[in-house]
């Protein structure tokens, strides 16, 4: 569908807002003020057996909102492009560079 946008075969597609091709092809992401399309944000899930563990919860809570959708697009584009692809590990290091995830 991204090639269809690029070639002009399509003018509108439905895609994940964090997809790297959005940044790579400078695609305009429309807002959805009526919330007609559900959000597919990444979430942290805990099993019921571990949900009551306060140490685990405190350790995981900083993940919430730690990576912006724009930064995720950039990381996704690094691994999802036709040339000069990065490895998933390289993309993870890129994400860590500008966040609390960076090693001390």
| pTM of structure | 0.71
Token pair recorded at residue 43: 């979430």
Residues 104, 96, 26, CA angle at the centre, nearest 5°? 155
**15-41 pLDDT tens trace:** 888 888 888 888 888 888 998 988 777
Q: How far apart are CA 26 and CA 6, in angstroms?
A: 10
Q: Is the pLDDT of residue 50 over 60?
A: yes
Q: Dihedral, CA atoms, 63, 66, 72, 78, nearest 10 degrees? A: -80
**54-101 pLDDT tens trace:** 999 999 888 888 888 888 899 999 998 888 999 999 999 998 886 555
On whether the CB atoms of residues 83 and 26 are closer than 8 A, the answer is no
């Amino acid at each position: 569908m991204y090639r269809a946008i690029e070639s002009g075969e399509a003018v509108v597609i439905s895609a994940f807002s964090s997809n790297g091709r959005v940044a790579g092809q400078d695609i305009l992401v429309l807002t959805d003020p009526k919330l007609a399309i559900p959000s597919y944000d990444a979430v942290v899930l805990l099993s019921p057996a571990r949900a009551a563990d306060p140490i685990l919860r405190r350790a995981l809570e900083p993940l919430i909102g730690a990576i912006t959708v724009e930064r995720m697009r950039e990381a996704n584009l690094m691994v999802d492009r036709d040339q000069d692809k990065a490895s998933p590990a390289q993309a993870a290091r890129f994400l860590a560079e500008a966040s609390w995830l960076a090693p001390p």
